[in-house]
Amino acid sequence: MMTRSRTMRTLAAVCTAGAVLLTGCAGSVAGGALSGEGSGTGYAYGASRDEVLEAIADLPPVTLTYQPSEASPKNKEIASAPRWVKEVSERSGGKITIKIIYGQAIAGYGEVFDALSDGRLDLAYTLPAYLPQEFPAASAVGDLLSEADPSPFVGEMVANAASTEIGWASDKVLEQYEKKGVYPLNPVSASGSYSSQCNTDGFGIDDYGGRQIRVGARSQVGYVQALGGTPVSLDYTETYEALQRKTIDCTLGQMVPSVEAGLFDVARYTGYLTDTSAPRAVGAVIAGQRFATLPLAYKQIIFDSYGGSFQGQMGRSIGGNHEAVKKIRALGGTIEPLEKPLQDKLRGFNRELAGNVEESGALEKGTEKRFAEVLEKWQKKADELGYTDGGDFDTMDQWYDPDTDYVPFGEAVYEEVILPHRPGGTSGKEDAKS
């Protein structure tokens, strides 16, 4: 297991290569969105802090509103937004202030795109998978993620790298954001994997019959049916009470929001996957109308300053897995793998689901094959850098190091996938309207 200590990279290299979540779109379908309408010139990739401050010396301060995925600032162990906000402030010499709005207080996931368009939000994490008719391409990437490695550590790193690469490579993904008048900063985020969190025990092939199970994505309906359960569409905010009152038996959920919502208080039995994965309700980081009008140098600072984004993203999703296992143990609950015959059944469903992505035309022809290749590529990169799982999901409280440094892996993703989309290019000399 990799145990590098987590440290902040020096500000001298302003374009930190871990800037995974917030990216520009120069040269992509949405290229005009991030590279256009702003004013002034930028700075070169890799510029010193002094050079960056010189580039923005005459620019007025700006405050942006950001709604992240975090429910509140209380659990600092799995909070990713504050680190990025601090980096932006430091790199801009305090000229860019980002105000964090927790808990979807301005707009729920179904309303985020409207809030970005009308100015209530400037930046937001959201779930395009909640709007599959408007974002079928991004949702299809979530279907492909059913074939990702389900390991709670390296598997999460690889899935997030692969979804980011496929998202930026797909014109169909980017065009669907363009039609909404918003600008993708990370078009597809795999976020965290899914497990069965139930108020009754049993994760065998005969245990799911008759169970009412909440789902968060359209493709998860078929997944739950393959389990033998009955899928239930229910607003996430109502899940705790439904589990408590036993109007539902389980939720198909990610560990992080379940920890934040306290679901393990009422769903103390968790079943996880070892041989296959569940389809994911993918996320995205999106910029609104105001971001497009920022000076080019400010766009570049936001882009480049997300050096801690991959660190924060993995600290949140993988750290959330770790926190969940600790919470389950503390509550006297159980966490165990689904039985093999049931996982075999689910693997067959996932294979069919991935094949349907190609047939549906939701993504470009050949994406399914490319996705498999991308997963393999990032798995090899993780191996090269020394990242390994130290055990199973249910023992993460024993082997996972919360101080794991994900920046080297994030740098690799940045350099290969994201850097070509940097606003103004790597030279930083292009005018914002070019």
Residue 96 pLDDT exceeds 70: yes
Does residue 124 carry a pLDDT above 80?
yes
Q: Which CATH class, in words, describes the domain spanning 31-402+412-421?
A: alpha beta
Residue 364: both structure tokens together: 């470009």
Q: What is the pLDDT of residue 10?
A: 29
**Is the CB of residue 159 less than 8 Å from the CB of residue 17?**
no
For 304, the 3-state DSSP assignment is helix
The pLDDT-based confidence of 14 (bands split at 50, 70, 90) is very low
Total residue count of the chain as it appears in this document: 434
pLDDT in tens, 37-95: 446 789 998 899 999 999 999 999 999 999 998 888 887 767 788 888 888 899 899 99
pLDDT above 50: residue 223: yes
Q: What is the domain partition of the chain in residue ranges?
A: 31-402+412-421
Distances in Å between the Cα of 230 and the Cα atoms of 222, 245, 269, 323 are: 9, 17, 18, 29
pLDDT tier, 255 (very low <50, low <70, confident <90, very high otherwise): very high
What's the pLDDT band for 178 if we cut at 50, 70, 90?
very high
21 has a pLDDT exceeding 50: no
pLDDT at 429: 56
Residue 13 has pLDDT above 60, yes or no: no
Residue 388 has pLDDT above 90, yes or no: yes
**CB-based contact 387:310 (threshold 8 Å):** no
d(CA 74, CA 82): 12
d(CA 369, CA 215): 27
CA–CA gap between residue 324 and residue 12 (Å, rounded): 37
Helices (H), 170-237: 171-179, 219-227
pLDDT of amino acid 319: 93
CA distances from 326 to 30, 192, 267, 323, 424 (A): 42, 17, 14, 5, 45
Among 46, 19, 22, smallest CA distance to 34 is for 22
Q: Which helix (H) or strand (E) holds 186?
A: strand 183-189
The percentage of residues in the chain with a pLDDT greater than 70, rounded to a whole number, is 88
Return the bridge partners of 214, or none.
Answer: 232, 251
Return the pLDDT at 230: 96
